[in-house]
Structure 1
Amino acid sequence: MRTARVQDLLGLLHGWYPPDQAEEWDNVGLQVGEATAAVEKLMIALDPSAAAVAAASAAGARLLVTHHPLLFKPLRRLTPDDPVGGVIWTAVRDGVAIAAAHTNLDVAADGLNRWLAARLDLLEAVPLQPAVGHLVKLAVFVPTAHAESVADALFAGGAGQIGAYDQCSFRVAGTGTFRPGPGTAPFIGEAGRREQVEEVRLETIVPQRRLPRVLEKMLKAHPYEEVAYDLVPLANELPGVGLGRIGRLAEPVALAAFAARVKAALGCSSLRLVGVPERTVAKVAVCGGSGAGLIHEARRRGAEVLVTGDVKYHEARLAEDLGIALLDAGHFATERLAVEELAERFRAGAAERGWRLDVVVFEGDRDPFVVY
């Protein structure tokens, strides 16, 4: 077994939760630390708090992966007496790297909101607000005899993935024409003479983040001196990716009874209910953390109740006006489940790769709110 490095574990994290699927305002990935540092113990926490960093250091964990990022905006100064600066100061001093998976974890097909929907026993759950974009259609024109080798290069670079299918492409035969200019060294033909060549238009799909690598491999494999290709940004929905989830309960239930079920499933000491407790609900939307911005979308999709956290007064009034119930279980309770789920993913990922890695969770995470 070999020891993993910070960058190895980030590779796993980014493979599951691509950084380009995070919101533009978000800051995910490595926040503090050295990418090449060896990691034999990894700690998972909800927040990059001073207590979490201290616990990681005491446990010998050289990487702390959190849901919430430590850094959202540039620092004007770095001093140990500042709340954020103090965490950075301690982490660097003790050799603890810090990385985050935030909104990219929220929207992932197998991420926080899928886990939340599963915890509440929702059936047929799908994204409440599907994600779009991040995909590019690549079409390249290749001499027929070289189509397979160029396709292999594209696939090796990460092109051609559609859901659970890989190496996806489309090909159509045609005739390409060109006239090499002075000083060229054409693969086919000669300078100054127009050529006609039997070619294949080879199309595939590429995630935006993988485009540089795919193009590099394509250009290396292609026999032509000048390669003709098109890049077309797509607005397709990403399969299974999006904010929140919406699904149904196995049986309709009174809102009050469902609230009790949510409270028990999430282990929260209390929750806030907006709506008529006796009302029957069957179609449920969820969004971990702060999801009240999805009230309109949840109502439009036919949800009778939205489970989330951080609901404000006027958002509650809006829900009343729209006729959709709300269950505010709190930011902490609707996201805390991600910690153990992430730990399990890292354990499985390390075992598959033969890495010597102990994965632990920070036991000191607590909801900052106490209800009297």
Structure 2
Amino acid sequence: MRISEITQHIESIAPLAYQESYDNAGLLVGSPSDDVSNALICLDVTEAVIDEAITEGFQLIIAHHPLIFSGIKKLNGKNEVERCLLKAIKNDIAIYAAHTNLDSVHGGVNSKICEKIGLTNCQILAPAKNQLKKLVTFIPTEQAQSVQQAVFEAGAGHIGNYDSCGFSLNGEGSFRGNENTNPFVGEKGELHTEKEVRFETIFPANKQRNVISALLSAHPYEEVAYDIFSLDNQFETVGAGMVGELPQAMDEVGFLQMVKKQFGCGVIRHSPLFGKNIQKVAVCGGSGSFLIRQAINSGADIFITGDLKYHQFFEAEGKIILADIGHFESEQYTKEVFYELLTKKFPKFAIRLSGINTNPINYLI
């Protein structure tokens, strides 16, 4: 199987366009056209993981955290990143990462955290902005249905749990082609009017190329008139963090003890407790301090994340419990996300979870 088949499937769920500007998700080592027969899944790419791949004969490593975050000017093995790259290249091991793009989608990192806690009615905590566009075009009445269907199949028209969403308005269009035209209807050099449907629908910005390609292929006109508008609407199914509800409320200490056990935390750092029950829970895998305000505004009783700094605990302001369970601990089940995503699509492709604990933080108990 080619690497591109695997990466394209991952990116159909978590498009690279959804990654943060600082991120470096994607294929970091190897060629998309390379053939591989197996893959090793990990959270972090370390020398121990590379050695595991070499020993076990894995040709592809799929990680959550990118091995390369910043530019590399030399490759002489002076640090772990360079040593990992050298070993991978020498042993023909490809490396792929899906990071903040996998954080930002339903079914990704935060969905798995919600699943492990047992939350229901889960929604994106901070929906993305500037990720939606609107297409407006004009189609001859008889061809309207087929063109609309082609546009929908290319990825347009999804709103929440609904698909094929669009609006049509009947009207009349006019045009006149010059001597270099071959009009679908009417005669060149003559003004023509045609019964048309004004059709509009929305689509994710990252699908624009596919949507417009489908429109142009399905539309009967030589020259297709269409407009694209950028929208300020929030993209409710894409964004940072998630928030959901426990089926039954739990007392604060009992809830934190459950989370500590479920995520194998050496310790949980938290802001003052209120002596109240926990019902609504906000989560963000990894470093989630930037979502404290959104977690409060969501009405959550507690916000589960990692990497909180001392002064950030003051931001709770008696309105929410902030709980730092650790960066690694919050994201450790991301390996399961990859495994489930790939085995469902490629049931005969050999996939294994790395047995290496890559958590760089240890606790003295």
TM-score (norm 1): 0.91
Aligned to 1:331: 327
Pick aligned residue for 1:367 from 355, 359, 363: 359
Aligned to 2:157: 160
Instruction: Work out the CA distance in 2 between the residues paired with 1:161 and 1:324.
Output: 34
Aligned to 2:70: 73
Distance 1:152 1:293, change over 3 A: closer
1:84 aligns with 2:81: yes
Pick aligned residue for 1:289 from 286, 291, 294: 286
Instruction: Work out the CA distance in 2 between the residues paired with 1:159 and 1:253.
Output: 41
Instruction: Work out the CA distance in 2 between the residues paired with 1:112 and 1:71.
Output: 20
Aligned to 2:208: 211
Pairing of 1:127-138 with structure 2 (within 5 A): 127-138=124-135
Q: CA RMSD in A?
A: 2.0
Aligned to 2:97: 100
Pick aligned residue for 1:170 from 163, 167, 171: 167
Letter in 2 for 1:280: N
**Residue segments in structure 2 that go unaligned for 5+ positions in a row:** none
Letter in 2 for 1:213: N
Deviation, structure 1 residue 165:
4.0
Deviation, structure 1 residue 78:
2.2
**Residue segments in structure 1 that go unaligned for 5+ positions in a row:** none
Shifted more, 221-230 versus 258-267: the winner is 221-230
Instruction: Work out the CA distance in 1 between the residues paired with 2:286 and 2:137.
Output: 43
Instruction: Work out the CA distance in 2 between the residues paired with 1:31 and 1:206.
Output: 29
Deviation, structure 1 residue 334:
0.3
Contact between 1:109 and 1:239, CA under 8 Å: does it hold in 2? no
Shifted more, 143-152 versus 295-304: the winner is 143-152
Paired residues, what number?
A: 364
Letter in 2 for 1:360: R
TM-score (norm 2): 0.93
Letter in 1 for 2:168: R
1:318 aligns with 2:315: yes
Instruction: Work out the CA distance in 2 between the residues paired with 1:278 and 1:229.
Output: 58
Which string of whole-angstrom CA distances, capped at 9 and with x for unpartnered residues, describes residues 251-310 of structure 1? 333322221111001112222122137443332211111112211111122222211111
Contact between 2:173 and 2:195, CA under 8 Å: does it hold in 1? yes
Instruction: Work out the CA distance in 2 between the residues paired with 1:216 and 1:280.
Output: 53
Contact between 1:149 and 1:221, CA under 8 Å: does it hold in 2? yes
Letter in 2 for 1:343: Y
Pick aligned residue for 1:112 from 109, 113, 134: 109
Instruction: Work out the CA distance in 2 between the residues paired with 1:200 and 1:27.
Output: 43
Which string of whole-angstrom CA distances, capped at 9 and with x for unpartnered residues, describes residues 93-115 of structure 1? 11111111111111211111111
Deviation, structure 1 residue 358:
1.1
Instruction: Work out the CA distance in 2 between the residues paired with 1:247 and 1:86.
Output: 42
Letter in 2 for 1:98: I
SS in 2 for 1:39: coil
Instruction: Work out the CA distance in 2 between the residues paired with 1:277 and 1:332.
Output: 27
Letter in 1 for 2:63: T
Pairing of 1:246-285 with structure 2 (within 5 A): 246-276=243-273, 278-285=275-282
Instruction: Work out the CA distance in 2 between the residues paired with 1:147 and 1:73.
Output: 48
Q: Determine what percentage of the aligned residue pairs are the same residue.
A: 37
Deviation, structure 1 residue 85:
2.0
Pick aligned residue for 2:350 from 342, 358, 362: 358
Deviation, structure 1 residue 209:
2.1
Contact between 2:46 and 2:358, CA under 8 Å: does it hold in 1? no
Contact between 1:43 and 1:360, CA under 8 Å: does it hold in 2? yes
Letter in 2 for 1:146: Q
